[in-house]
Structure 1
């Protein structure tokens, strides 16, 4: 993946906006985001702060932002980029090989990012791999998104979630209208 040399290095929101407006391609988007994992930062406050607004407009970008504050910074940007290049190419074996080339202190963060991206994209193969290994935080955004997966629309992703240790730890929550109408775990006596 070649860096976007003709562009300045973009921070999270800017990379999201540029990709949305088709000013940068997917490779450049990932380059801008993943570069933060090397410890490089921008001067603006959104680079290092917990930008909750980013979680709404770009959940994957938000996960990268959070991981960049937690990961032991690495100069291994090329490996991070190769993993997501393999992901975009649909190459599960490439994702696994890239993941396995990392030490655990970096691999757990890449699993977390890959799990979020595969959940957002409904990629059951990568999601199953990540959830099978676990070892990363299932944050509120991940848990919320997991509850939006419907069995009739995305059966493979649904099965990957339901058969995982994640789902044992975080059972599927019913929408409020179902809780009200049927009482959820408590029977309703109308």
Structure 2
């Protein structure tokens, strides 16, 4: 594993981006370098725990942090940076082309990241692509962000989510609202 004093760690990159000290290309470069084995002292200290500051303030950086714990096979982050550059400044076809250049294992992890990025940006075309191919688990942060989408505000993104298995997965294991809020539930309401 390579260490780097020149690159920024997850929180540093998220903070620098938020304050305008780095641009989009630099932000993605610093984050995605972790998928190619770049580590920092802070990464090692936090290797077995999630950084909830990121979860709250930069869900994408948070997910890259989580994925980097599962995936460390790549030696070059350039293909990952290329797909996110295509996402930001290219066309839908450019994103697909960059995706198709990835190895299967890489593509699965990148689709997970790309799906969250598209969800956060309400980019329904890329979100649909990622969800149709699938091959990745919907983590809690993805489900949380999906639950924030309202049909009146973002009808296309809402439609993609509603038609996907995200809705079915998200509802599994949950009691109906009436079981929670009606008499006898965990949060009873006195109607």
> How far did residue 52 of structure 1 move?
2.2
Give CA deviations for 1:10-46 in whole Å, capped at 9, x if unaligned: 0000001111111100110000000000011001224
In the alignment, the residues of structure 2 paired with residue 23 and residue 151 of structure 1 have an alpha-carbon distance, to the nearest angstrom, of 35
Name the counterpart of 2:21.
23
Contact 1:132 1:165 in 2 (8 A): no
What secondary structure sits across from 1:170 in the alignment?
helix
Name the counterpart of 2:186.
none
Contact 1:11 1:47 in 2 (8 A): no
Name the counterpart of 2:147.
147
Tell me which of 26, 31, 34 is aligned to 2:32. 34
- Alignment TM-score, normalising by the size of structure 2: 0.84
Gaps of 5+ in 1: 1-6, 182-187
Q: CA RMSD in A?
A: 2.6
- Please list, as runs of the form range in 1=range in 2, the aligned pairs for 1:46-125 lying within 5 A after superposition: 46=46, 49-125=49-125
Name the counterpart of 1:9.
7
In the alignment, the residues of structure 2 paired with residue 88 and residue 21 of structure 1 have an alpha-carbon distance, to the nearest angstrom, of 19
- Alignment TM-score, normalising by the size of structure 1: 0.84
> How far did residue 170 of structure 1 move?
2.0
Gaps of 5+ in 2: 183-188
Contact 1:92 1:125 in 2 (8 A): yes
Paired residue total: 177
Task: Pick which of 55-64 and 95-104 moved more.
Answer: 95-104
- Please list, as runs of the form range in 1=range in 2, the aligned pairs for 1:162-173 lying within 5 A after superposition: 162-171=162-171
> How far did residue 149 of structure 1 move?
0.2
Name the counterpart of 1:3.
none
In the alignment, the residues of structure 1 paired with residue 168 and residue 94 of structure 2 have an alpha-carbon distance, to the nearest angstrom, of 29
